[in-house]
């Protein structure tokens, strides 16, 4: 990173940071497009449009982060080299750039593996096939690298106020970039869990147990690391928009199935799913952190946060699940409830109502929610510990 001599190096946001946040967006929208391609068209090729968008994310993050590493390695007088991470005894780089390069390599490696898998075994029946697992790990490395890249620069301003108007603008931009990068990673996190948390499962306690295990750890970590006034409200809003925009736009475009059996003869893209309403517990967790962060020990804070998260989410999502599945008002382009896989019978009797085996009795549901609260407290406590580490990252 070069400076003009009039302001410190850390006051400038490196180009690679913008590049990897852009890569993270390409990854999210490419992944969602790929899922909608499978549910609307079926078989795809190595160079299908959704795959190309994902590869753009991998290539951009890999090239910009790789250049960052090589620049630090071969410019011995580089002002950032002293604080860089050294690896393999030769190379120097920022932690975020390292994650992005490793992720890009994994993503590009998974492409021919996925093509071979399709040619051998046919159409995927689930999201996490072996080649998709390699791809998803690479995606999350790139996205985590984007978040850490922003965080490392942001943390240099954590304990001091910006001295100039330019530094103030840079600091505000860093806060926003962190919120965007964290929200995009949350979108992929939810997508991977969506098979266990569909609208058909909203009346089952297993739905909330899954959410309790996987979401508080992330939400509490990014809340503690962020300098935004309402970090979780911002991050969950980014996540919802990142999920919804492709599902609002793609159904306007034509798509016809290319593999049988075709039980639902569609003519346009089928949307993905309406995302979980994490923005509501996110806002309340923001309020909780404003009031008690630094005033309570982390165990007690995790106890309150975990119980609050499950209690709020179970009330909100129970009713939202009912609305999405059963209400005619949800059967539109806004709430996406008319979306239906081309290989599923559109006249299925449970298309717009809960399947009996997916509804818990009240005693079973309450017992399951109690267990979910236990899981959420443990998850929140780990998240606070992780957030403490993230606050210290500066390279």
- Residues 221 and 393: their CA atoms lie apart, in Å, by 13
Please report how many Cα atoms fall inside a 13 Å half-sphere around the Cα of residue 325, on the Cβ side. 21
pLDDT in tens, 31-80: 999 999 989 998 767 778 998 999 999 899 889 888 888 888 887 777 67
By DSSP bridging, strand 85-87 and strand 91-93 are antiparallel
pLDDT in tens, 219-244: 999 999 998 999 999 999 999 999 99
177-207 b/e (C-beta count within 10 Å ≥ 16 → b)? bbbbbbbbbbbbbbbbbbeebebbbbbbbeb
Q: How remote is the C-alpha of 267 from its chain's centroid? A: 30
- Coil vs helix vs strand at 352: coil
Between these two residues, 81 and 355, which has the higher pLDDT value? Answer: 355
- Residues 371 and 234: their CA atoms lie apart, in Å, by 29
pLDDT given for residue 7 in this prediction: 44
């Amino acid at each position: 990173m070069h400076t003009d001599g009039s302001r410190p190096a850390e006051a400038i946001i490196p180009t690679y940071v913008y590049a990897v946040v852009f890569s993270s967006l390409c990854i999210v929208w490419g992944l969602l497009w790929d899922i909608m391609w499978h549910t609307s068209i079926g078989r795809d090729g190595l160079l299908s449009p959704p795959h190309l968008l994902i590869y753009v994310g991998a290539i951009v993050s890999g090239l910009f982060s790789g250049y960052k590493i090589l620049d630090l390695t071969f410019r011995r007088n580089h002002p950032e080299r002293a604080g860089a991470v050294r690896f393999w005894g030769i190379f120097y780089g920022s932690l975020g750039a390292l994650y992005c390069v490793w992720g890009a390599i994994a993503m590009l490696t998974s492409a021919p593996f996925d093509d071979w898998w399709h040619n051998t075994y046919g159409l995927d029946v689930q999201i996490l096939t072996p080649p998709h697992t390699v791809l998803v790990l690479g995606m999350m490395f790139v996205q985590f690298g984007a978040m850490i890249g922003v965080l490392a620069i942001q943390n240099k301003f954590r304990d001091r106020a910006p001295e100039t108007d330019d530094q103030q603008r840079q600091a505000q931009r860093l806060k926003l970039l962190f919120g965007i990068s964290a929200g995009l990673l949350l979108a992929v996190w939810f997508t991977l869990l969506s098979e266990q948390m569909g609208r058909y499962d909203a009346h089952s306690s297993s739905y909330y147990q899954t959410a309790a295990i996987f979401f508080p750890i992330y939400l509490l970590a990014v809340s503690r690391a962020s300098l935004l006034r309402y970090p979780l409200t911002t991050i969950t809003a980014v996540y919802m928009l990142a999920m919804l925009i492709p599902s609002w736009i793609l159904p306007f475009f034509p798509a016809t199935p290319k593999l049988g059996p075709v039980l639902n003869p569609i003519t346009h893209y089928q949307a993905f799913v309406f995302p979980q309403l994490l923005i509501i517990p996110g806002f309340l967790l923001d309020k909780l952190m404003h009031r008690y962060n630094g005033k309570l020990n982390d165990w007690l804070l995790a106890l309150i946060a975990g119980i609050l998260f499950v209690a709020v989410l179970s009330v909100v999502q129970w009713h939202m699940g009912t609305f999405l599945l059963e209400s005619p008002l949800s059967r539109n382009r806004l709430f996406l409830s008319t979306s239906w896989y081309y290989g599923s019978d559109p006249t299925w009797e449970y298309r717009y109502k809960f399947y009996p085996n997916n509804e818990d009795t009240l005693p079973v549901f309450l017992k399951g929610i109690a267990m979910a609260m236990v899981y959420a407290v443990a998850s929140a406590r780990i998240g606070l510990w992780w957030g403490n580490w993230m606050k210290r990252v500066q390279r």
